[in-house]
Amino acid sequence: MVIQWQNKLPDLRRSTNDQAQVFKSRTIHLSPTYTGRTMKLKATHHVALFTRNFAEMEKFYSQTLGFPVTLRWDDVTIIFIDIGSTTIELIGRDTAPEANSKPGAFNHLALHVEDVDVAYQELVAKGIAITVEPKNFKEIRICFFIDPDGNSLELVEDPRAEGK
């Protein structure tokens, strides 16, 4: 399948005083399986976190929080950690942002739990830094905490999502 369209772009070869526009044609070749419908999303596969602090982050997610490591690529310092409905790809790199640096567009990773208050007590008992204690927000209950690199994680109790 081939799609063609025209972009109305200024011809940069002309002087800046000339306001004439030229049309440039572009062609995209799509795979033969493309049907024009929305992609068939199965689920979120993973969220990737870069870290300089690989061993401590692995210990936090796998031992402290108890999430299983499902795949390990030691030769490239990558592990995949099953957190229920998705996976964390933990990537150890010396070039990763320093711990507690500004996260860019990433704000937080939300974990759907059965009971926020019970999960909160478990985190407190393990000495995990809580940034927002359990509270109601609209029709959900939430709580925030941080991992060893300062990434924000949210606990969410959402009665609308039961069974998901």
In this prediction, residue 19 carries a pLDDT of 37
Residue 67 has pLDDT above 70, yes or no: yes
Tell me how far apart the alpha carbons of residues 94 and 48 are, in angstroms, rounded to a whole number: 15
CB 96, CB 51: distance < 8 Å: yes
Q: How far is CA 34 from CA 26, 38, 99, in A?
A: 19, 9, 42
Instruction: Tell me the two tokens of residue 106.
Output: 């990433």
In this prediction, residue 4 carries a pLDDT of 40
Residue whose tokens read 């809580």:
130
In this prediction, residue 44 carries a pLDDT of 78
Average pLDDT score over residue span 99-127: 88
In this prediction, residue 39 carries a pLDDT of 66
User: By percentage, how much of the chain surpasses pLDDT 70?
Assistant: 71
Residue whose tokens read 């499902």:
70
In the chain, beta strands by DSSP E: 2-10, 21-29, 47-51, 69-73, 78-82, 87-92, 109-112, 130-137, 140-146, 152-157
Residue whose tokens read 């592990």:
79
Q: What is the pLDDT of residues 4-59, one digit of tens each?
A: 434 333 343 334 443 333 333 444 444 445 455 566 667 778 999 999 999 999 99
Domains of the chain: 47-161 (3.10.180.10)
Average pLDDT score over residue span 107-112: 90
Residue 156 has pLDDT above 90, yes or no: yes
Average pLDDT score over residue span 104-127: 90
Comparing 38-52, 57-71, 85-99, 115-129, the range with the smallest average pLDDT is: 38-52
